[in-house]
Amino acid sequence: MSTATTRSHERSISPVFLAILAVMAVTGWAVWTGFATSPGLAVFLFVTSAWIVSLCLHEYAHARTALHSGDITVGAKGYLTLNPLAYTHAVLSIILPVLFVIMGGIGLPGGAVFIEQGRIRGRWKHSLISLAGPLANVLFAVVCTAPFWLHLLDGVPLPFRFALAFLAFLQVTAALLNLLPVPGLDGYGVVEPWLSYRLKRQIEPYAPYGFFVVIALLFVPAVNGAFFDTIDALMRSLGVPEVYRYCGSELFRFWQETPELCRVG
């Protein structure tokens, strides 16, 4: 389906998104150059704005794939403008994930673009629409970790390395959580078109609670340990030192005392 089925203003990048992008660029520069008197505050603003940008790209990927799969209504809903305020549930898509980063330091999957499923024909298309969002996080993670596994960080200030490592960690956690085949998450959306009608009807009543079940399970020590062991293994395979991610997380919480290990300058 061609994007010609949407009007030009429906595909124009939102000033809200551009403003968030500008905050990311300016604070990233401040972290890189050491311009900020408080590196922690600069890291917080850089990571938070970059995280919101990634959330917008996640939802955009869903919407853009849906557009090319047959749902031409996504343009009129504002989903192609990258405006986070246009999402069906701004709280779930933006506010809650940001709060979880602040409180728990993990990339919580959001999600709220309403796709008109009846306009889309073919199980593969339905699966691809659900997969597109997590793939956006994977791509963002690749971009964030590329300087590590390409060994391009010689001479780069430590605060920026820390911030980049923590941002990559958020993308990896978001992608992994979102790919779980649990009702309410994108992973279930990938497999759901291939399930029998009877099984889907049996699962349907529990779908609104799947997301919260996953969050609750992360508070179980054994599950939490296995999850973060997996994340740490993935981060190491991408060349990101665990101490960098840890220090990025600590600098991000600028309101707390920074451990001696992570102090710079």
Q: Which amino acids are annotated catalytic?
A: 59
Structure tokens that stand for 4 in this block: 């010609």
HEC sequence for 207-255:
HHHHHHHHHHHCCCHHHHHHHHHHHHHHHHHCCCCHHHHHHHHHHHCCC
d(CA 200, CA 253): 42
Side-chain-facing half-sphere of 262: CA atoms under 13 Å: 26
CA distance 16 to 13: 8
Residue 87 half-sphere exposure toward CB, CA atoms < 13 A: 27
Q: C-alpha distances in angstroms, 92 versus 87, 122, 193, 211? A: 9, 28, 24, 11
Answer for the pair 78, 90: CB distance below 8 angstroms, yes or no: no
In SS3 terms, 135-191 reads as HHHHHHHHHHHHHHHCCCCCCCCHHHHHHHHHHHHHHHHHHHHHCCCCCCCHHHHHH
